[in-house]
Amino acid sequence: MRLSGKVALVTGASRGIGRAIAIDLAREGADVVLVGRDGAALGEAAAACVAARADVKTKIVSADAGSASAVDAFVAETLAEFGRLDIAVANAGQSIDSLLLRLKPETIDTMLDVNLKSAFYLCMAATKPMMKQRSGSIVLVSSIVALTGNAGQAAYAASKAGLLGLAKSVAKELGSRNIRVNAVAPGLIETAMTDKMPEAARDYMLKQISLGRPGTPDDVSGVVTFLCSDAAAYITGQTIVVDGGAVM
C-alpha cells in the first residue's frame, strides 16, 4: 500500500469523483477524512472506504468547504484526532451554466466560493501542519474547461482555471518545505453533474474523445492517488489532464 500511515482529507467526498478519491486513498493505506454537505451520502462513502480496506480509520465532517472558518475547524479536528495531515484534496465543486448576457452576479459568487475559494481555504489551512511535518501533497480538482473554455460556462471555467494558477503559485511557495501541489483536469466523467448535461452537448463532447468513451470517477482517482504517493515525489506545480484524449 503506497500510502500506509498517511492521513488524507478530501472535500466534496460524498459522491462522484470525490467519493472515488476517498475510496482509492483508503485502499492504498491512508486514513481518510471525508468532507461534504450531505451527511448520509458521506456515511455511505465512508462505508465504501471500509469495504476497500477493513482497518481504515475514517472521519465524516458535514461542512461547507466554501467557508474559511469551517475549513479551519475541520482541519483542526483532523489534527486533533489523527495527529497529522499528509494529503489534502480540494474536490468540492459545482457547475451552474449560463450564457454571459444572462449571468447573474450571485452565480459568479457561488462559482468562486464553491470551486475556487474552497481550495484557497484548504491550501491555507493544510499548509500549516504540512510545513511543520516538512512534507505533504495537495491536489486541486479542476476541469478541462479551465484549459479550453466552454460557451455557457464562463463562471465555471473561470473558477476552475483559477485552480491552475493557485496550484502553480503554492507549489513554488512550498516546494522548499517538501510540500507538493498539483492539479488534475478531468474531462467528461460519468457523475451526477454530467448526467444533467443536454444530450446534444454530451454527444458533441463524446465525439472529441479519442478513446471514444466518457471517463469514470475511478479514472480520475487513480491519478490523484499517484500524485499523492512517493511515485510522484518529483512532480509539483503540474496539471494532469484526464480526458481520454479530448484535449491535445
Catalytic residues, by residue number, are: 156
CA atoms within 13 A on the CB side of 75: 25
Residue 60 sits at the vertex; the CA angle it makes with 64 and 241, to the nearest 5 degrees, is 70
C-alpha cell at position 56: 481504515
Residue 63 contacts residue 120 (beta carbons within 8 Å): no
Other CB atoms within 10 A of residue 207 CB: 9
- In the chain, which residue ranges form alpha helices assigned H by DSSP? 16-27, 39-52, 68-82, 105-111, 118-133, 145-148, 154-174, 192-195, 199-208, 217-228
Give the sheet arrangement for strand 87-90, strand by strand: 58-62, 31-36, 7-11, 87-90, 136-141, 179-186, 239-242
